[in-house]
Amino acid sequence: MNADRLLAHYERIADAPDAIARLRRFILDLAVRGKLVPQDANDEPASELLKRITKEKARLVKAREIRRPKELSPLDDRELAYAVPTGWTVAPLDALSPRSLCDGDWIETKDQSEDGGVRLIQLADVGVGEFLNKSARYITEATEVRLNCTRLAVGDVLIARLPNPIGRACIFPNIGQPAITAVDVAILRPDSNVSAEFLVLAMNAPPISAQIEAYGKGATRFRVSTGHLKTVQIPLPPLAEQHRIVAKVDELMGLCDRLEAARAGREETRDRLAAASLACLNAPDPETFQADARFALDALPALTTRPDQIKRLRQTILNLAVRGKLVPQDAKDEPASELLKRIAKDKARLVKEGKAKRQDALAEIDLDQVPFDLPNGWAWGRFPEVGTFGRCKSKHRPRNDPALFDGGEHLMIQTGDVARSQGVIETYTSKYNDFGLSQSFKWPKGTLCITIAANIADSGILSFDACFPDSVVGFIPASMFQNARYFEYFVRTAKANLLEFAPATAQKNINLEILTQVLIPLPPLAEQHRIVAKVDALMALSDRLEASLTATAATRRRLLDALLAEALAPVHQRNAA
């Protein structure tokens, strides 16, 4: 193992997304390859251990304490993928214990009892190298006797025959009560010739896990049979070296625990500082906002180290935008109140000309109930006041409706298309023909779509003409707005508040009337254009930052891959490199 190079680059790889987990697997990989501790020529060879186990197995068969084991299937295609050191041997798992590997017991629900005194150990209790002690199922001792169950002994090795991961193993500890296992947990009872601790770390090591994974079968319930588990090839060192390996693995896993805790502490501190910085901007104090903004801008690059953290940054940008904190106000801009008057006048003209339907009057806005104070020149508006708003009148059709076919003229989107849009809807679920649909039901390109069922309050702007079901609401802003970008940004900031209106039912949805009453902070038109331009620029910057963080994480992962591969390479290959 070339540990020096690994340590030299530790700072660069420590923050790779799965660095600690990879290091843990790497330690186990080294352990079963004989690369973790030095060999000692004075150790009794592992082949002698197998001879003693075979002798003990024969004694137990002769004494009729166990059945004569079946011959294992040929091992031609199940050889270990690497050579083991001198003094080691390779043997099938079933050869490492005088008593054969066996299944747990088939315990049906009718056989279980809450008042039983015998614990039923299940898959959830078996972790990777640790007993998780999660289940709470029991049977009575009378049922245990009636079903002829196999009672566990402290120190038994438990092996999970189902994911995740398949083949994971742990040692059964003293839980203070008798216990058996479910059928999907296999039991191996090693004797003094094999360390149970070494056997567990070997079962969880990548080379052995890969063998077990290859033997797994089943589409709905992927599992490995006990028969296949018996033939899994285990690299076995001398007994003294087994103990040295276990001690070294414990030491290194303890180091990994400390590294993981330190990393978690760093991430928690970063997250708290970033959250505090962004919270000051999301709920700004007018007296301290400028100082808070400067601190956030200075600190966030250092605090933002993961791609997933960019989401909060984007949300903060949008929150600032709709509160008038992103660009300066200009006293020369026409106030938003005048804009609303012009829109109302234009709507009245269209109604008079018969080009639009008269809308129901909205209740007066209670200024005592507004969520926050607006900057000078801004005004509160609502969707019906600033554009065309409502549902597509077409009937929702099931997927097997004869009206659906590829040659249809009307594109049809669904809530999932809006959820995946990230602001712009570029995909559609299906095409419709003209069966029962008229052109008046097709919403034009540029329409803002808002979901009111399933993925509530997701939003996106159509990049093509389309229809949509009743679970989606459309909004076309008045012509003077040019596009719906500002309103789409607003909906993203309002999503959390809108979710509060959804009833606690299996099929969550919000009423259309709720969206009708939503208060929109409306800036002067000129400022709205400046806001959209600024948001677009900052979102592009966020995209580049996210891409940079993603690339950095990928680089760290590739470096870690290279270092681990180098450490596992044979000595002559490393020297040649």
More confident: 282 or 135: 135
Other beta carbons less than 10 A from residue 77's beta carbon? 7
What does DSSP say about strands 89-92 and 233-236: parallel, antiparallel, or unpaired? antiparallel
| Mean pLDDT value of segment 81-97 | 93
Q: Where are the beta strands (DSSP E) in 370-432?
A: 379-381, 387-391, 410-412, 423-425, 430-432
More confident: 239 or 390: 239
Please report, rounded to a whole number, the percentage of residues in the chain having pLDDT higher than 70.
Answer: 81
Residue 374 backbone phi and psi in degrees, to 5? -95, 150
Per-residue pLDDT tens for 237-255? Answer: 999 999 999 999 999 888 8
Per-residue pLDDT tens for 394-452? Answer: 555 555 565 555 556 678 888 889 988 888 999 888 777 655 554 446 789 999 999 98
Is residue 533 very low, low, confident or very high in pLDDT (cuts 50, 70, 90)?
Answer: very high
Return mean pLDDT, the chain: 83
Give SS3 for 533: helix
What does DSSP say about strands 118-121 and 179-181: parallel, antiparallel, or unpaired? parallel
Greatest mean pLDDT range, 169-173, 327-331, 469-473, 499-503: 169-173
For the cut 50, the answer to whether the pLDDT of residue 120 exceeds it is yes
Is residue 572 very low, low, confident or very high in pLDDT (cuts 50, 70, 90)?
Answer: very low
Distance CA 159, CA 204 (A): 10
For the cut 80, the answer to whether the pLDDT of residue 193 exceeds it is yes
Other beta carbons less than 10 A from residue 237's beta carbon? 27
pLDDT of residue 399: 54
Q: Are 135 and 125 in contact (CB under 8 A)?
A: yes
Q: Are 241 and 43 in contact (CB under 8 A)?
A: yes
Q: Is the pTM of this model over 0.75?
A: no
Cα distance between the two ends of the chain: 14
Angle, vertex CA 477, rays to CA 472 and CA 482, nearest 5: 130
| Mean pLDDT value of segment 106-125 | 95
> In the beta sheet, which residues pair with residue 235?
90
Per-residue pLDDT tens for 458-511? Answer: 999 999 988 888 888 999 999 889 899 999 999 998 887 777 666 555 566 788
For the cut 90, the answer to whether the pLDDT of residue 202 exceeds it is yes
For the cut 70, the answer to whether the pLDDT of residue 26 exceeds it is yes
DSSP letter, residue 366: -
> Sign of the C-alpha dihedral, residues 505, 508, 511, 517?
positive
Query: What single letter denotes the amino acid at residue 561?
Result: D
Other beta carbons less than 10 A from residue 19's beta carbon? 20
Q: Are 527 and 329 in contact (CB under 8 A)?
A: yes
CA distances to 117, 123, 137 from 133, rounded to whole Å, are 16, 10, 11
DSSP letter, residue 109: G
Residue 460 backbone phi and psi in degrees, to 5? -170, 155
For the cut 60, the answer to whether the pLDDT of residue 570 exceeds it is no
Distance CA 420, CA 460 (A): 9
Q: Are 535 and 318 in contact (CB under 8 A)?
A: yes
Q: Which two tokens stand for residue 507?
A: 């099929």
> In the beta sheet, which residues pair with residue 449?
460, 474
Residue 502 backbone phi and psi in degrees, to 5? -75, 130
More confident: 11 or 478: 478
The H or E element containing residue 379 is strand 379-381
